[in-house]
Structure 1
Amino acid sequence: MPWFKQEQVPTLRHRFLEMLLESATDYAIIGLDLDGLVMIWNKGASLLMGWTEEEMLGQPAAIFFTPEDRQAGRPQGEMQSSIQNGRASDERWHLKKDNSRFWASGEMMPLKDEAGVVQGFVKIIRDQTERRLAEERQTLLTQELAHRVKNTLAVVQAISTQTLRDEIPFATAREAFNARLMALSKAQDVLMHGSWTTASLRELIAGAASLHGNGDPLRFHFAGPDVTIGPKAALAFALVLHEMCTNAVKYGALSVPEGRVSVLWEILEEAETQLWFRWEETGGPVPVPPVKRGFGSRLIEHSFSQHSGGVVKLEYPSTGVRLSVKFSLAALQRPDA
């Protein structure tokens, strides 16, 4: 036997529906008449969009549609679609009372009487902004990754082409190619720390020192201010540093115990802010200028002079190899640099 009397059913059903509407706070449940005016506005709608029930009753539902959707007739289109198809599903931006936007997943259904005649509509909305933003971030990251991979593969291709261009035995070329890829990998690690948008010049130089300087700060000294540079400039620096280090280990200051390498950089406040980068070797064998331009010379010219607009001075005095480059700091720090 039911605990309620039959004559109580309409009242109980009404109370039950009220409790149902007010308890569904994760959803905006909105009842509309045939003209699209708000007749029901539950607590979830107030929490999501900011308008109170008193403010919204009798107002057109179009008020929480964006201006462009109102212009395109989306509110009326939803009602017509729900009548024709039994429901209308959509995902779009909606407006809050403070005029901010949120991404909504919505369903609209027609409300019919016993005769099947449409008397109004119910629209149920859920906030999906976080999901939408997460999808946009994922898309952006995927596009950025594809861009970075493409650039990296282009650099690898250039390294292989330039390495094999020199007339050297295959075993030597393979060793040089692998070492250059290792330098490129170190640069990628530094870029990862900067979310692939910037790299610390100090970390790039420290990476080169760890590979070639045996961890001895007296043999491989570097000093300068904290400076970040763009991705392409970072790869260029990493490869040039590798070539300079490799030559120093084979023929220069790092080939003898008493040899030293000093890497210094500073910011020059001139007409255009510049980065002055210097590599100086001392205590090693007297350098012999190369008879022809090898990989290192071509790399410095392309990466530092042509690509980054640097003014390059590579010298071979009796004290040791010296490389001096002045860059436009703004050019080095461009996101595509």
Structure 2
Amino acid sequence: MRRRFPIAIHLAIFGLTILLPAAAAGALVAWRLASNERVRLERTAHDFVNDLSQDLDRELEVVMGSLQALATSPAFRSGDLESLDKQARQVAAQLHAAVLLRDSHGQQLLNTLVDWGTPLPVSTDADVLNADRRAISSGQPVVSNLFTGTLTGQRFVMVGLAIELGGKPGYVLSVSLTPEVIRESITSALTPPDWNASVVDGNYRIIARSRQHERFLGVEATRSFQENASSGRDLWRGVTLEGMEVVSLARRSRLAPWWVSVSVPKATLEAPMWQLMSGVAGLTGIGLAGSMALAFAYGRTLSGPIRAVARTAAGLARDEEAKPPESAIAEVQAISRALVNASDELRRRAQQRDAALRSAEAGEQRLRATYENAGVGIAEIDDQGRFVAVNDALCSITGYPRAELLGLRFSTLSAAEEVATDVDLFERQRQGEQTSYVVEKRFRRKDGAVRWVRLFSSAVSGPEGFSYAVRVVLDVTDERLASEHQALLIAELNHRVKNTLAVVQSLVAQTLKSTSSPAAFRDALTGRIMALARSHDLLSESEWKGATLDTLMRTTLNAHDGPEWLRATIEGPAVRVGPRAVVSLSLMAHELATNATKYGGLATPQGRLRVSWSVTEDNRTLQLQWRELVAGQAEPQAGRAGFGSRLIRLSIEQELNGRFETTYEGGFTLLASIPLEILAR
């Protein structure tokens, strides 16, 4: 005989079959998103190091230009060094540098770092002499590596130019820049605080650094930098001089024997992945725990209506018309009506979508007549994939003005991962393999926003074959969002169906156990289901966003004391109750009001009921008091608590994570303390 399991087991298995694939898909999506973010950061670093290299070269070009301008001074031809010294000091002041003149043996003839006439030394630094020889032999400006000045002992880099003095060759005019000037060049651009930009000379010594510049000035770069930079690699993983794992990018300067490098911490690149994966793991764990708890807490009866509603909900995904059976349970019937309404709405939107598609196809056929006034984007693409004509609608969709779109390749607008597919489809159309095609794809606007479009492309051929392609572009972003919203609506509806029916099932089972006759069972169950219905009415009115405590209490007591409010008083500050807590508090208040009607403050015309609450000074706890004023109300005899008492205790202590106590002095009194954080859920 085939073994059969209770509905709780089946619900648990069903929950797992839904959650586990969703969790796997969520993990995959998180991994893809993190990978895309990593690629974006690497691309940003790549662009940044290129910009730094270009900025540095522009600085060097300014220095070279100033040096070449100074070299045209007549003082060089006449050999008037004193006049030349005055001109050199002006250039040095403008560049925040030092200007020097040396002969082929390194003897300094002019140095703006000291006063004119001061005896000058012979430059002996190998990097300086090597740069002088290259300048004399090439006749072009040259840039040196980092060196230590003979006169001041300060570190410099030099831009040198071979010149003639008094008609004699073999002299070098140079501008010496401090590393601080180079550092200002690479730190003027805005960089993330944990990135590091560096300039390294041809001897792999650090010239400038955006972080800890003074500490590492002149220090030799790491071995991984030397190996990768010398081999021509522009991106690698390594460790900085501080011992931090990074991804490094390097570009060789166009004018100097230097490298410009940017290092991005490995932790920065991997942070998005860990954050997303942790979020997915946490949500998966919460989902699994909640699913198992609900599955084993609910579901022993009412399997027939549940299966009928489930079949109806499943049919919505297959575009079937919703025809749920009639049910005697008000909540099930309400859900059935909601499913019918959802089915009608889905069909209406599907008809709208089909109508929009038919309208787009008809618009393509009338393209020439309605080109400039069309409500969709229209473009003509030449055989090189460039825009040769566009309308205003396409400019609006892409965010580009007409002047910028014309001449731009269509692949520029495609999302990076769709470029290859888009180019392949166009190439097949250009070769005559297909005359037209339709595709839904993403456009990246000029401002960086992404829009979904439906693209119709048709080839226009002449005597010699392909002439150009006509493209009609329809923005379907709102349609996409509507489809996603429909799927979310169905999932939320299924979830609420299960929760409501499970609560009803539990109420039936527990009421049956705690009543002694069919009539008592009917009255107790009817009251509790109506209390549940009232809580759902409150939630429906607020679109399941919760209700105020005052509204909840007044709605509950209205069924017992009537709208005249002759015997009940309700007072307290405004407190918002979340959708989960609304159900628990409504059931608790119903049980208390039922007892008050039978035995307590609402049982006699002289009795009174006062419900009040307050919030503690730390704004963390709700203090709720249910006070019945009736003479002669006796404390019930000790014994087994009824389901109503158990329901009150379950609602306060387990569902709301609170605590309470009761007394019978002058009438029944209940004092409850409930965390506001739990109450707001």
TM-score by length of 2: 0.44
Q: Distance in 2 between matches of 1:85 and 1:306?
A: 66
After superposition, what is the alpha-carbon deviation per residue over 1:125-177, rounded to whole angstroms, capped at 9, x for unaligned? 11223333333333322222222221111111111111111141012101211
Assess if the C-alpha contact under 8 Å between 1:252 and 1:287 holds in 2. no
Give me the CA root mean square deviation: 2.3
Q: Letter of the aligned partner of 2:623 in structure 1?
A: W
Tell me which residue corresponds to 1:92: 441
Structure 1 equivalent of residue 565 of structure 2:
217
Structure 1 gaps, min length 5: 1-15
| Residue aligned with 2:455, SS | strand
In terms of Rg, which structure is larger? 2
**Separation of aligned partners in 2, 1:195 and 1:80:** 52
Output the CA distance in 2 between the equivalents of 1:217 and 1:234. Answer: 22
- The yes-or-no answer on 1:196 pairing with 2:556 is no
Contact kept in structure 2, 1:94 and 1:101, CA below 8 Å: yes
Count of residues paired in the alignment: 313
What residue number does 2:636 align with? 289
- Distance in 2 (CA, whole Å) between partners of 1:286 and 1:243 is 17
Q: Secondary structure at the match of 2:372?
A: helix
Mean Cα deviation higher: 301-310 or 287-296: 287-296
User: Secondary structure at the residue paired with 2:371?
Assistant: helix
For the 8 Å contact 1:240–1:300, the answer to whether it is kept is yes
The answer to whether the Cα contact below 8 Å between 1:190 and 1:200 also exists between their aligned partners in 2 is no
Check 1:269–1:119 CA distance in 2 against 1; reply closer, same or farther (3 A cut): farther
Aligned partner of 1:325: which letter?
Answer: A
**In structure 2, distance between residues paired with 1:208 and 1:96:** 54
> 1:103 — aligned with what?
452
Map 1:68-217 to 2 at 5 A. 68-70=417-419, 73-80=420-427, 84-114=433-463, 117-217=465-565
Decide which moves more: 95-104 or 172-181.
95-104
Alignment partner of 1:316 is 2:316: no
Partner SS, residue 34 of structure 1: coil
- Matches of 2:383 and 2:652, distance apart in 1: 70
Deviates more, 1:296-305 or 1:211-220: 211-220
Secondary structure at 1:89 match in 2: strand
Separation in 2 of the partners of 1:122 and 1:248?
Answer: 78
Pairing of 1:62-73 with structure 2 (within 5 A)? 62-70=411-419, 73=420
Verify the 8 A CA contact 1:30 1:42 in the aligned structure 2.
yes
Q: Which residue is 1:49 aligned to?
A: 398
**Matches of 2:595 and 2:631, distance apart in 1:** 12
CA deviation vs aligned residue, 1:32-73 (integer Å, no higher than 9, x gap) = 223322222112212332212211111121232234434xx2
Paired with 2:628 and 2:492, the residues of 1 have a C-alpha distance of 39
**Closer, same or farther in 2 for the Cα pair 1:152/1:17, shift >3 Å?**
closer
Structure 1 contact 229–333 (Cα < 8 Å) conserved: yes
Distance 1:311 1:31 in 2: 73
Secondary structure of 1:21's aligned partner: coil
Task: Give the whole-Å Cα distance in 2 for the aligned partners of 1:93 and 1:221.
Answer: 60
Counterpart position of 2:675: 328
Superimposed CA distance per residue, residues 174-206 of structure 1 (whole angstroms, 9 cap, x where no aligned partner): 121111111111111111122113222221111
Once the two structures are superposed, residues 250-307 of structure 1 have per-residue CA deviations (whole angstroms, 9 ceiling, x without a partner) of 111100111111111222133x711222211112541333522111221122221012
State the one-letter code of the partner of 1:308.
Answer: L
2:656 equivalent to 1:305 = no
Does the aligned pair in 1 maintain the 2:550–2:574 contact within 8 Å?
A: yes
Counterpart of 1:3 in structure 2 is none
**Which among 238, 247, 254 is matched to residue 595 of structure 2?**
247
Which position in structure 1 is the counterpart of 2:372? 22
Question: CA 1:78 to 1:171, structure 2 compared with 1: closer, same or farther past 3 Å?
Answer: farther
Normalising by structure 1, what TM-score? 0.85
1:104 and 1:126 in contact (8 A); partners too: yes
Say if 1:175 and 1:93 are closer, same or farther in 2 by CA, change over 3 A: farther
If asked which structure has higher relative contact order (CA below 8 Å, sep 6+), I would say 1
Q: Distance in 2 between matches of 1:226 and 1:80?
A: 66
Instruction: Give the secondary structure class of the aligned counterpart of 2:564.
Output: coil
2:591–2:648 Cα contact (<8 Å) kept? no
**Which residue of the other structure, out of 262, 273, 277, is the alignment partner of 2:624?**
277
Distance (Å, rounded) in 2 between the aligned partners of 1:245 and 1:17: 71
Deviation larger for 319-328 or 183-192? 319-328
Q: Is the 8 A contact 2:572 2:612 kept in 1?
A: yes
The one-letter code matched in structure 2 to 1:66 is A
Unaligned runs of 5+ in 2: 1-365
